[in-house]
Amino acid sequence: MNPDHQSLIDLANEARKRAYVPYSNYRVGAALRTKSGRLFTGVNVENAAYPTTMCAERVAVFKAVSEGEKDFEVIAVVTDNGGSPCGGCRQVLAEFGLDTIVLIANGEGKLVTQTTVSGLLPEAFTPKHLENR
């Protein structure tokens, strides 16, 4: 196990404690490392108007982008049961790079799956498809 990857999983698992999940009680934590070495965490933030809930992965990505970072190396996602990122989060990750490594881990901090954005979202629609128009 790559020690850098394990520490990113541990960071996501620690962030997970701060998930705001009064409705699902399903805590998700994410930790994103940029190519420049910066770290951004995210948690899911639910809402009484359910569809306005935001996933942990997107919180981490949006925090990074809003701080000027768009080149991602790796994102760790931790849930109790090693759940996989939702379709919306896959699409948002694809916007910023298909080669970003995705680490999916369980509540014990154990890696369940290591893949990439392109592994999670084959044949993704990306900014390339909108070039030159």
Binding stretches for ligand THU (CB under 6 A): 21, 24, 26, 28, 44, 46, 53, 55-57, 85-86, 89
Residue whose CB is less far from ligand THU, 36 or 80: 80
Q: What is the DSSP letter of 84?
A: P
Residue whose CB is less far from ligand THU, 33 or 104: 104
Residues 101 and 56: their CA atoms lie apart, in Å, by: 16
Residue whose CB is less far from ligand THU, 57 or 69: 57
Catalytic residue among 46, 57, 69, 73: 57
Least distance between ligand THU and beta carbon 3 (Å): 25
Query: String of b and e for 96-113 (b: at least 16 CB within 10 Å)?
Result: bbbebbbbbbbeeeebbe
- Residue 57 falls in the annotated catalytic set: yes
Which residues are annotated as catalytic? 57
